[in-house]
Amino acid sequence: MEVRFNGVSVAIEGVEIVHGVSLEAADGEVVGVLGPNGSGKSTLLRTLYRALKPRAGAVLVGDADVWAELSAREAARRTAAVTQHSEEDFRLSVLEVVLMGRTPHKSLFSATTAEDHAFARGALEQVGMAEAADRLYPTLSGGEQQRVVLARALCQQAKVLVLDEPTNHLDIAHQLEFLELVRRLDNTAVLVLHDLNLAATYCDRVFLLAQGRIVAAGPVTEVLTPELVRAVFGVCARLGTHPVTGAPQLSFSPLESDPLESQRSEDG
């Protein structure tokens, strides 16, 4: 299912954080939203899963504006969110956590059905956590918990996944495992990532934000150029190729350690 942000602006307590942003993700595409801290990435994504209403513009999933045309329940049937890993202490089993994803498809006080259980167990199978169904959620590792949260989103049967720094507290093995899993899904996925090399490996296209505005969009090799990385992140970057995967790979250094930057300073 396609996702589109059309001229979206967002203000928090009277301060505009996002300014007229337009971006899109095609059906089945994995799109990364990148930028330094405070650039408006998470604020923008919160408008997609109805956590924060935009001041202006439209957010569309498929052919419908999630704020103007869909109820919260209808929107949740189209879009599911996976946010940063937290230490939230669900005193629930893994299966019970995943069954929470059925909420948009049920009426108030309706009982959990055999069909709900089938969806939940199928989602756990998809993320490789079927054998943990009866374990208590707090006893899992961080990486396992994130897979369970992803299973809950899949159990929601949403065609669009919104992933806001989903690997933020995971070690590198679990980061790769989680993003490999997202990459194999058929869902449209919109991700906020801090790690530019993870974005380069797993995203079809990326959008680069700075101070609440899109400054570049397209394939990684066109967006994460040395010039743009220097301008937006304030570091030197070299763009190469990963020796194993063949994906674009960036290496970084401080501005002051770059001979070219030193030459510019002398010339200036």
Q: Which tens digit of pLDDT belongs to each residue from 68-84?
A: 999 999 999 999 999 87
CATH of span 3-219: 3.40.50.300
Give the per-residue pLDDT at 142: 85
Within 8 A by CB and 6+ apart from 81, the residues are 49, 51, 153, 161, 162, 163, 164
Kindly report the pTM of this predicted structure. Answer: 0.90
Tell me the mean pLDDT in the region 238-256.
92
236/215 Cα distance (integer angstroms): 18
* Least confident residue range of 43-57, 100-114, 228-242: 100-114
Phi-psi region of 29 (alpha: psi -120 to 50; beta: other; left: phi over 0): beta
Residues of CATH 3.40.50.300 domain(s) within the chain? 3-219
